[in-house]
Amino acid sequence: MSINKHLVTIALAVALSFLICGSALAQATETGSFKKDKEIEINFGVPVDEDWAQNTANFSAYEKPDPDIKIPIESVTLDARKTVATLKFKDALNTSSDYIVEAKDVTSGGKLLKNRVEFSVKKGEAQVLFGVFLGAMLINNFVFTQYLGLCIFFGVSQKKETAIGMGITFTTVMVSSAIMCWALFSYVLQTLHLDFLRIIVFIGTVAIFVQAMDTILRKVNPYLFKKLGVYLVLIVTNCIILAVPLKNADSGNGPFASLTLGLGAGIGFALALFLMSCVREKLEVCRVPATFQGLPIAFIVTGLFALAFLGFSGLAIF
């Protein structure tokens, strides 16, 4: 009975967060898309004049962060229905950043339609999310290349069993607090111009979620709760759990990107814990020099892992 009650509460919370995400996505403006590495496609929605469209002076394009550096346009072509224009650029575009294309004095059938239309061009959502996920999990693994969460990493990685349990609990708390912090930051803090309070608000939110996990696990699965008891509370003092919402807020990530970063960071941390616990179980039976026993040798092993994880930087294909 009580399990059902909790499940209903969780389901409601998830439904609510998806509603919030949906409403945020609905506010999208005019968009364009990358075609080949030198081309951008924009859709006007109505037929436009061919001679207007072929004049490249009517268009300007720039990368979103620096609007002053215009990118030279070689030619513009219209498709058969004259609604879709393809801009060809002289140099290859950097598809990992966002572009803005501006069209001025849009004319249709000899009449002036609009003074200025702005198109924002970015990669497909799924591609961006996959990049964020892979980046958080492997390329910029939070433990091995960003040195976050080391206290728990060294504290919990002595046995495989606790490492796995900690990884799962941690990922759950991370994902839920990432989405909650995003909602609080964009709907409460930013609208009220209270950005400077974000540290206090985020740490409060994380503490609430850890407390919630504690309460839910105690009722739903007392066995797992007993296994994780101490580590559950330790999550509050983990750097990663605070770093993820802060990174999301700094880079202006949307709801799905925030969720993906949280998930990637959680899985990456779980992976790091598991790898380390495998090595440390073997170290127990090795003959380590007396002065290196315990933490010093663990640090050296982590350094070797970090060197290995450098290899993943070649994965940055998106």
Restricted to residues 269-308, the positions that interact with another protein (CB under 8 A) are 289-300, 302-304, 306-307
* Beta-bridge mates of residue 32: 42, 121
Q: Which is nearer to another protein, 32 or 268 (CB)?
A: 268
Q: Single out the residue of 89, 130, 154, 312 in contact with another protein (rule: CB under 8 A).
A: 154
Q: Cα–Cα distance between 198 and 247 in angstroms, integer?
A: 11
Among 199, 278, 315, 316, binds another protein (CB under 8 A): 199
> Among residues 103 and 136, whose Cβ is nearest to another protein?
136
* Interacting residues with another protein between 215 and 244 (CB under 8 A): 234, 236-239, 241-243
Kindly state the helix (H) or strand (E) to which residue 113 belongs, with its residue range.
Answer: strand 111-121
Give whichever of 119 and 202 is closer to another protein, judged by the CB atom: 202
CA distance 14 to 97: 31
Q: Does 247 bind another protein (CB under 8 A)?
A: yes
Minimum gap (Å) between residue 165 Cβ and another protein: 16
Q: Which SS3 state, helix, strand or coil, does residue 117 take?
A: strand
Radius of gyration of the chain (CA): 25
- Please identify, using beta-carbon distances, which residue of 171 and 302 lies nearer to another protein: 302
Q: Does 139 bind another protein (CB under 8 A)?
A: no
Burial of 142 (C-beta count, 10 Å sphere; 0-12/13-18/19+): buried
Which residues bind to another protein, rule: CB under 8 A?
144-152, 154-156, 196-197, 199-200, 203-204, 207, 234, 236-239, 241-243, 246-247, 289-300, 302-304, 306-307, 309-310
